[in-house]
Structures are given as C-alpha cells and as structure tokens.
C-alpha cells in the first residue's frame, strides 16, 4: 500500500464526503431516535421501536416515507469494523448476522478483496454508479417519492435514481446487467421491500474493496422507526462470492430543515482524481463475473 494510494483515494473521498455533509445541512438531520449508534445495537433497538410506531400514510394508504434523507456515514470507508487513522474515522461493523461481524467470503474471494484494495480504483472515484446497496450510504442526499405503483429513490450524486415498480411487474431477462440492477417492490406491513437482481458486478460495497459478483441478489427492507428514522436492512446473497447470505443494517435519517436545498454533485465535471490514480499504477475495476 503506497502513501500516494492513501492520499489520492481515501483522502480525496473523505474530503468530498465532508464537503457534502456540510452543504446546506443547517443541522437538519436528527439522531436515530434514542437507539444506540452502533449498527448491531441499533438493529435490535430499531426493530423493537418499529413494532409500536404508527407511520403517517399516503392517500393510497402506504406508509409515507417521502422526504429528504441521508444514509448513516462510516460504511463508505469499510462496512466491517475498522480502526481510524489520519484519513479514515474508526467505525463499527454493519454486518449484523455473522459471529465475527465480517462478510462471510469464500477463501478465494477474501484474497480477491485484498487484491481489489491493492490494485484497483474504487469505482466511486471515477463517478460510476454506486450499485445496491451502496447507493443508500454514498455521501449525499436521498430523496424518496411515492405513488401507488412506484417507489422512487434519487441521490444527489451523479444523477443516480431508481424507479421501483410496486406489484407484479415482470422481470427483465437475466442477460441484462445494469449498474443498479433491476428492482421490484412490495409492502410487507409497514415495511417497503425491494428485490434487486441484474447488477453488473462492477461496483464495490465500500472503499476497502468489499465486493460482490453479477450473481448477487439483494433484498432491501425500509422500515420507519419514528418520524425521522428509517431502519434499512439489506440481505445479500451471492453464492459465487460468499459462503452464506448475510445482512447489513444502518440508519437513514430525515433532514428536517425546512429551508434545506438538495446539493447536486455533478461529479464528472472537472474531475481529475482518476487520472492521477491511474498514473500511480492502479487500474479500473473489471468486476467479477464468475469464480476463477
């Protein structure tokens, strides 16, 4: 690991994250109720609170999650527990259902993750789409809009958006591979569930090189805990890469500032970091389509 790698990748992304956190926030993001901040404890607490919380409703009777939100920070650096240094803040694991709080990689895939960090550029650096679930915790604002038939997620970074049909919309052919995959949604009581397939396997879960292949299947669950907090859960299954399915959890918090305006981060315009990192000997991540 070179100092240049740290300076150009971690440092630049950390600076960008800090800048976005400060864009017009106005102190508008409340804490996630009275639940603990570490993800494992938040998971248990939030689900208990959700059982007694009655969310507001849309005219169609759905739980009303509309508004401006922001995913919990920390996982953008590493979704596993990690120590801090001059460039990265320490953070707890986001993995809630493995004994050691780590992603349950197959042996070859654990080595691949190490190679990702040493050899490749985080796909977020050249402004590529974050994939699912990383879209929800990439620094920036998430806007949720709802109709009876569609659940809409837009992100302030790189014009990212997802239109999730609700109900029995047909799936696209398995040969179609997209940066954000294809999603189909339904309501499970007060929880919105999105079933995600058809991702292209060319994104990472974080800056540390945690990854999946194009065979990944993600099931997302959005549950309101209180008026200003969503418990977000992603069940991730990829038999090509992981020894077993696993689950990550984090808080999504509402921005309550009535004067807040979403900052649009175009990203590509004026971007020069990629050129510098390629010059340092790193490569674009090609993705993993099958086990070597």
Cα–Cα distance list, 166 to 149, 170, 187 (Å): 5, 11, 8
User: How many of the other CB atoms lie within 10 Å of CB of 168?
Assistant: 7
Residue 44 pLDDT: 96
pLDDT for residue 54 is more than 90: yes
Q: What is the mean pLDDT of the chain?
A: 87
Do the beta carbons of residue 95 and residue 80 sit within 8 Å? yes
Segment 180-194, tens digit of pLDDT: 999 999 999 999 999
Residue 291 pLDDT: 44
Segment 85-129, tens digit of pLDDT: 777 788 999 999 999 999 999 999 999 999 999 999 899 888 888
Segment 215-224, tens digit of pLDDT: 999 999 999 9
- Token duo for residue 91: 């953070």
Summarize the confidence of residues 3-30 as an average pLDDT. 43
Residue 10 pLDDT: 42
Do the beta carbons of residue 105 and residue 242 sit within 8 Å? yes
Residue 218 pLDDT: 99
How far apart CA 157 and CA 139 sit, in angstroms, is 8
Do the beta carbons of residue 98 and residue 104 sit within 8 Å? yes
Segment 61-72, tens digit of pLDDT: 999 999 999 998
Place of tokens 């990383």: 134
Domain boundaries, the chain: 3-284
How far apart CA 3 and CA 205 sit, in angstroms, is 23
Closest Cα partner for 288 from 103, 123, 59? 123
Residue 289 pLDDT: 66
Residue 23 pLDDT: 40
Residue 33 pLDDT: 61
The pairing of strands 182-188 and 150-155 is unpaired
Say which residue, 226 or 86, is predicted with more confidence: 226
118 φ/ψ sector (left φ>0, alpha ψ -120 to 50, else beta)? alpha
In percent, how much of the chain has pLDDT > 70? 85
Across the chain, the runs of DSSP E, i.e. the strands, are 67-71, 120-121, 142-146, 150-155, 161-165, 182-188, 191-197, 217-226, 229-237, 246-254, 283-284
Summarize the confidence of residues 203-207 as an average pLDDT. 95
Residue 42 pLDDT: 96
Say which residue, 27 or 59, is predicted with more confidence: 59
- Token duo for residue 97: 């259902």
User: How many of the other CB atoms lie within 10 Å of CB of 1?
Assistant: 7
Cα–Cα distance list, 12 to 33, 77, 94, 104, 143 (Å): 32, 12, 23, 29, 25
Is the dihedral angle over the CA atoms 165, 166, 169, 175 positive or is it negative?
positive
Per-residue pLDDT band for 28 (boundaries 50, 70, 90) equals very low
The pairing of strands 182-188 and 67-71 is unpaired
Residue 151 pLDDT: 99
Say which residue, 21 or 99, is predicted with more confidence: 99
Do the beta carbons of residue 226 and residue 45 sit within 8 Å? no
What CATH number does the domain located at 3-284 have?
A: 2.40.128.20
Segment 131-167, tens digit of pLDDT: 999 999 998 999 999 999 999 999 998 889 999 999 9
In percent, how much of the chain has pLDDT > 90? 67
Instruction: Of 26-30, 155-159, 205-209, 261-265, give the range with the top mean pLDDT.
Output: 205-209
Helices H, strands E: what count in the chain?
A: 5, 11
Whole-prediction pTM value?
Answer: 0.87
How far apart CA 244 and CA 58 sit, in angstroms, is 37
Residue 277 pLDDT: 76
How far apart CA 132 and CA 142 sit, in angstroms, is 13
């Amino acid at each position: 690991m070179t100092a240049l790698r740290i300076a150009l990748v971690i440092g630049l992304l950390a600076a960008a994250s800090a800048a976005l956190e400060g864009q017009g926030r106005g102190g508008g993001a409340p804490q996630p109720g009275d639940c603990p901040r570490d993800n494992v404890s938040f998971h248990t607490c939030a689900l208990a609170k959700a059982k007694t919380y009655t969310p507001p409703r849309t005219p169609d009777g759905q739980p009303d999650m509309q508004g401006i939100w922001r995913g919990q920070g920390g996982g953008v650096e590493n979704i596993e527990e990690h120590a801090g240094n001059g460039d990265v803040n320490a953070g707890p694991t986001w993995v809630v259902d493995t004994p050691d709080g780590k992603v349950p990689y197959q042996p070859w895939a654990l080595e691949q993750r190490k190679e990702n960090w040493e050899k490749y550029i985080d796909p977020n650096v050249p402004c590529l789409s974050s994939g699912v679930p990383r879209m929800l915790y990439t620094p920036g604002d998430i806007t949720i809009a709802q109709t009876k038939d569609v659940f809409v997620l837009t992100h302030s970074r790189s014009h990212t958006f997802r239109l999730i049909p609700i109900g029995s919309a047909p799936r696209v052919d398995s040969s179609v591979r997209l940066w954000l995959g294809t999603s189909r949604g339904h309501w499970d009581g007060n929880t919105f569930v999105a079933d995600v397939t058809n991702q292209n396997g060319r994104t990472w879960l974080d800056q540390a090189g945690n990854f999946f292949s194009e065979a990944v299947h993600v099931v997302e669950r959005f549950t309101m805990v209180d008026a200003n907090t969503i418990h977000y859960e992603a069940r991730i299954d990829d038999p090509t890469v992981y020894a077993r399915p696993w689950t990550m959890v984090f808080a999504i918090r509402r921005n309550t500032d009535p004067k807040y305006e979403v900052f649009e981060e175009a990203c590509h315009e004026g971007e020069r970091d990629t050129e510098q990192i390629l010059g340092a000997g790193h490569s674009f991540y090609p993705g993993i389509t099958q086990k070597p």
